[in-house]
């Protein structure tokens, strides 16, 4: 039993928290595919944000914004966890630019407050909303989490 516990603890402690790779796919505004070595791809869900669902207004805009920010670019993936679908939750960087934050600044995402309480992300959403940019141009944008429950 002690050996199993020690092995489990070792695996948890040695798990990589940051990855480097190239974005080879963009599923939607907040989900990308990163090639981290020739044989390994990871599906990454951007931490702390939620972009419009594919059938919502601004979904294509959000996806194109993500493509422009990171597709075919070398990225650093700072893992924060795993979601219920097995995707890596992470903040993703191209050089020093955080993709998650850029999408909020551009009004292409909501701060996903149910799962993230970062005040900087909340402020970025508030600023985009005040400027009425991106999805905030709409009079009553429906958050994706509400849209999914309809």
Looking at the annotation, which residues are catalytic?
Answer: 45, 53, 87
* Closest C-alpha among 50, 51, 21 to residue 33: 21
Give the span between the Cα atoms of 138 and 26, in whole angstroms: 25
Name the E strands within 48-139: 49-50, 74-82, 88-94, 97-98, 110-111
């Amino acid at each position: 039993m002690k050996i199993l516990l020690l092995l489990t603890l070792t695996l948890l402690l040695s798990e990589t928290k940051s990855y480097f790779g190239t974005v080879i796919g963009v599923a939607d505004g907040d989900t990308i595919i990163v090639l981290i070595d020739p044989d390994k791809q990871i599906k990454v869900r951007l931490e702390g944000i939620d972009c419009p669902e594919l059938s919502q207004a601004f979904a294509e805009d959000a996806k194109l914004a993500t493509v422009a920010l990171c597709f075919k670019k070398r990225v650093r993936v700072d893992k924060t966890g795993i979601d219920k679908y097995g995707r890596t939750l992470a903040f993703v960087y191209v050089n020093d630019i955080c993709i998650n934050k850029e999408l909020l600044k551009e009004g292409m995402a909501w701060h996903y407050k149910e799962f993230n309480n970062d005040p900087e992300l909340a402020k970025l959403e508030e600023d985009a909303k005040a400027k009425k940019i991106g999805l905030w141009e709409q009079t009553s944008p429906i958050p994706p989490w509400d849209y999914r429950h309809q």
